[in-house]
């Protein structure tokens, strides 16, 4: 059996995982596990399920090393698992057949790929932190823009009286305004203070 694993760091509204899914199918994946989790997170539910289902002689296919992990330590654990269970790893165009063990050159190549993947992620984090610090030093306010009562959706102002006099509760108020409960709490605080 050939298993595919696809991963993006953020949710489906911010990142599209369909390219990975398509590529995995083209690489022969018969069953694909996918999730939106950080590659540095060790305990990922779908990866865990995959590792429990895969067995001797199976193949694990990923489009690139960074999709399976951004941690060199975890990559070494996955490699040990693949060797112990005689699993074939396919990382893009790089095929690592662990059914007879792993030679030193192949092991080194995979580890180097992992180091570069982890380094790439760490450099991205450093650039983001630097950018945030730079913006703050210039007095830029970060985060969502501050809300004003006039910025609230018309429906929220319209139904506020019903909420205030107890005709509807917070859940009903949120549903009528077509917003989440945490958002309605912010709106209520704004309307109460304003």
Task: Judge if 6 and 53 occupy the same domain.
Answer: yes
CATH code of residue 111: 3.40.50.1390
Evaluate whether 89 touches 60 at the Cβ level (below 8 Å): yes
- Rounded Cα distance, 9 and 168, in Å: 38
Tell me whether residue 144 is in a domain.
no
For the chain, counts of helices (H) and of strands (E): 8, 5
Q: Residue 132: inside a domain, yes or no?
A: no
Domain boundary among 92, 125, 158: 125
32, β-bridge pairs: 4
Does residue 183 lie in a domain region?
Answer: yes
Specify the pLDDT at position 194: 52
What domain count does the chain have? 2
Is residue 54 located within the same domain as residue 98? yes
pLDDT in tens, the chain (194 residues): 999 999 998 877 778 899 999 999 999 999 999 999 998 998 999 999 999 999 999 999 999 999 999 999 999 999 999 999 999 999 999 999 888 888 999 999 999 999 999 999 999 999 999 999 999 999 988 887 788 888 888 888 888 989 989 899 989 999 998 989 888 898 888 888 75
On whether both 105 and 17 belong to a single domain, the answer is: yes
Rounded Cα distance between 66 and 5, Å, is 11
State which residues form the domain around 26: 2-125
Q: Which residues pair with 4 in a beta bridge?
A: 32, 61
Evaluate if pTM is beyond 0.85: no
């Amino acid at each position: 059996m050939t298993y595919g694993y696809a991963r993006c760091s953020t949710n489906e509204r911010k990142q599209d995982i369909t390219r990975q899914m398509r590529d995995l199918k083209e690489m022969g994946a018969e069953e694909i596990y996918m999730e939106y989790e950080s590659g540095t997170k060790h305990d990922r539910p779908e990866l865990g399920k995959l590792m429990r289902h895969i067995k001797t002689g199976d193949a694990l296919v990923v489009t690139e090393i960074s999709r399976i992990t951004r941690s060199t330590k975890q990559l070494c654990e996955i490699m040990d698992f693949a060797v112990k269970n005689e699993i074939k790893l396919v990382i893009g165009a790089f095929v690592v057949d662990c059914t007879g063990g792993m030679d030193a050159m192949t092991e080194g190549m995979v580890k180097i790929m992992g180091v570069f993947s982890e380094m790439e992620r760490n450099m991205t984090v450093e650039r983001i932190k630097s950018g945030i610090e730079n913006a703050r030093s210039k007095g830029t306010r970060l985060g969502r823009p501050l809300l004003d009562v006039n910025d609230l959706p018309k429906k929220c102002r319209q139904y506020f009286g019903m909420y205030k006099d107890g005709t509807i509760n917070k859940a009903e108020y949120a549903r009528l305004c077509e917003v989440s409960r945490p958002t309605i709490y912010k709106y209520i605080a704004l309307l109460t203070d304003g």
